[in-house]
Amino acid sequence: MILKAIVRDYTSSGVPVGSKALAAQLPMHVSSATVRNEMAALEELGLIAKTHSSSGRIPSVKGYRYYVDHLVQPDPIKANDIDIIKSSLEGQFLKIDEIIETSAKILSNLTSYTAFSLKPEHKQSRLSGFRLVPLGKRQVMAVLVTDNGDVESQTFNITPKITGDQLEAVVRLINDQLIGKPLDEVLEALKSDIPMQVANYLQQPEGFLKVFGDVLTQAAQERFYVGGRLNLLSFSDSNDVDELKSLYTLMDHSDDMADVLGKPSDRIQVKIGSEMTNDILKDYSLITATYEAGDHGKGVIALLGPTRMPYSRMIGLVGAFRQELAQRLIDYYRYFDQ
């Protein structure tokens, strides 16, 4: 009970908690001397620690861990928060990525922390169409569409020697050979027999093959979005410019962030400080949750904040948010599949 009170008090105020303040908070009458004895026992167990500047105590990483595992009770989400989430997700979105990107911004605005969102996994995505759209002045846009509604495009220049008939022949080749195949198989075909077939229509096929490979890779790769990058400056206790630069660099590297976020789990997970794979995050906590978009796979949302975050509110908020996001994506896919 005392540990729970210390965590909730400290995460709310940021001020080390003393025995008198604790005694006044507890639901039964006990003396501050009794509370001091219990605090000494908690300190001996490594669950709380004394700060240099105060006689009060703060939770240790071990204390936060015990609290999250055994004591935390997610707060019910406020009606106002639900209204904000629903109204923000109700916009007209043309791509799944727009919904996922917006979700990271919503979550960061609600919490004042830094949020991450990862779109549903791409393993079963299939190529459903490829087009080359002339833009004039020898510019062409390559457009690739997958069966789950993702659209990727890239603009490139063509030489005067390439005719419209040649480009149309290449598009027919791609669509005849590759439509309906999983994206990983299309990528493999691009490394094997497709280049030779494209060479039947283009004397120098390397430029086209690179553009097609780029849009294909964009469609196939896992992408995450970050909301509230600048919030990091507000809740970080570090004044080390190099450390902050390293944090921002980490957020820009998909593979590194994928390691930090870890494997999806059906339950909400909390990683605290040194429990994360990257030492840069030793003073932070990460709350991650999986959301399910029906048959279209699972995605991940995550919240990065200080170890001194109000876990009960944040866990409750993340839990409700993933349900709203999942429903919005299911509605989008249902409309797209009609």
CATH number of the domain residue 253 falls in: 3.30.450.40
- For 64, the domain range is 2-71
Question: Is 120 among the domain residues?
Answer: no
DSSP state of 71: I
For residues 194-221, average pLDDT: 85
Contact 285, 64 (CB under 8 A): yes
Tell me, yes or no, whether 325 lies in a domain.
yes
Q: Which of 220, 241, 264 marks a domain boundary? A: 220
Chain-wide mean pLDDT for the chain?
87
Q: 92 and 60 in one domain? A: no
Q: Which residues are within 8 A (CB) of 329 and not within 5 positions of it... i.e. 6 or more apart?
A: 96, 99, 120, 291, 293, 294, 296, 299
Please compute the mean of the pLDDT values over residues 329-338 and round it to a whole number. Answer: 75
Q: What is the pLDDT of residues 111-125, one digit of tens each?
A: 999 999 988 875 567
Q: Please, which residues bridge with residue 301 across strands?
A: 117, 289
Q: Are residues 176 and 193 in the same domain?
A: yes
- Determine the distance from the C-alpha atom of residue 272 to the mean position of all C-alpha atoms in its chain, rounded to a whole number: 17
| Mean pLDDT within 27-36 | 88
- 151-160, 173-182, 204-213, 253-262: which has the highest mean pLDDT? 173-182
The arithmetic mean of pLDDT across residues 64-90, rounded, is: 94
* CATH value at residue 197: 3.30.390.60
**233 lies in the same domain as 333:** yes
pTM of the model: 0.77
State residue 150's pLDDT score. Answer: 75
DSSP 103-146: HHHHHHHHHSSEEEEEPPP-TT-BEEEEEEEEEETTEEEEEEEE
Report the pLDDT value the prediction gives residue 257, as an integer from 0 to 100. Answer: 75
- Which residues, in sequence order, are bridge partners of residue 49? 58
**Are 209 and 233 within one domain?**
no
Query: Where among 220, 254, 282 does a domain terminate?
Result: 220
